[in-house]
Structure formats: C-alpha cells, structure tokens
A = this chain, B = another copy of it.
C-alpha cells in the first residue's frame, strides 16, 4: 500500500480514498451495510472498482466482509477502542525507540521547530491546530522509525480508525497543553538518542490518551 492520496493515479485509488473519507467521517454510518451495486451508482464507477476499494478497506479494518454475503462498516465499541490503543501503544512505542535510533539530526531539528510553531498556535487559542498538530507529531515519529511495516500499519491502517473514533464520538478532547508537554519530552528523549526513555514516554503518552477517552466514553 502506502499510496499517498496526492498522486492517486487509478480510478480505484480515488474511489478508495473517497469511500474511506466518507466512512471515517460518518457520512456512511458505522455498522451499515455496503452494497456494491448501490455504491457503484453513487460513486459513478463500475462494481469492480467498488469491490477493489472495499477489499482495501477491509484490510484497514474499516469494513468487515463475509463471503457471498457482503461488507459492513465496522461498528464502534469501547472494546474496539481499547484494542486499538493497545496496539498503538506497542507500535508507536517501538516507533519512538527506532526514531531515537534512526532519525537524522536535521529531521529532529525540524520536528522541534514544528513543535514550537504548534505550541505557539495552541497557546494563542487556535484550537483548530490541536488535532492537526497531534497528527503531524505522531506522523513524524512513525516515519522517523524508517520501518516500512510500522509506517504502513499505523499510517495506512490504524490512524484512520483512530480518526473515525475521534470524529464520530466527537472527542477533539482537552488534554491540549499536557499533551504538548508530553510531545516535548518525547522529542527531547529522541534528541538525546535515549531509545529506552523515548519508548517509555510514548507508551505513557498513548496510555494517558486512552484513559482520557475511556473516561469520556463512560461519563459522557
């Protein structure tokens, strides 16, 4: 995979991206059935294109498909969210460790600068940048690991599910300044090439996020 949405060359690519967007953002409701015929008329492509798109979505765990029956958008559940964050903790923890090992000094400097600019914006009350900043940060760490498996599983797969939970359960969340502090600490550990600390801090960071979201799920 690892297809960047910018140079989506084939028609199936574009349809895949559109479908994924609509699922993540709830335009197509979670748990609903995906009819190939219906979608092929709606998105104005042949069934073969829709089928390929659905197959790709299935490998991202955004839809589940049964042979001779059809595909459904995944249902969002507390258990699903917990499982998602368990895997994030493992993978992004390792990503932080590898980023501390493999990122170049320039990449680290860039990431620090990015963090500064994000912090300024959040400090000034631009809450819009909050999630975008979070996403940017995690992307840098993951790509900084230089590990193709980590990159594809997280960026092409899990992150879309994470966004789906965020969007549809409406948790842009507070935890802004504290999260930024945690980001800062992680980057410092990476700059110091302290793999052990980088992994530990990233795992804690994700655990805190999970706890925060769980609290919202239960009390809100």
Q: Contact check: which of B55, B68, B153 meets A153 at CB < 8 Å?
A: B153
Q: A48 near B: Cβ within 8 Å? A: yes
B149 touches A10 (CB 8 A): no
From A36-44, A85-93, A113-121, A125-133, the one touching the partner chain is: A85-93
Report B-chain residues with C-beta under 8 Å of the C-beta of A200: none
A41 to B: closest C-beta gap in Å = 20
Q: A87's closest neighbor in chain B, by CB?
A: B149
User: Looking at the complex, which of A25-33, A56-64, A182-190, A207-215 is the stretch in contact with chain B?
Assistant: A56-64
- A117-169 interface (Cβ within 8 A of B): 147-150, 152-153, 158
> Which residues on the B side are within 8 Å of A87 (C-beta)?
91, 94, 147, 149-150, 153
Which 4 residue pairs across A and B have the least CB separation, nearest first?
Answer: A90-B94, A59-B59, A87-B149, A90-B90
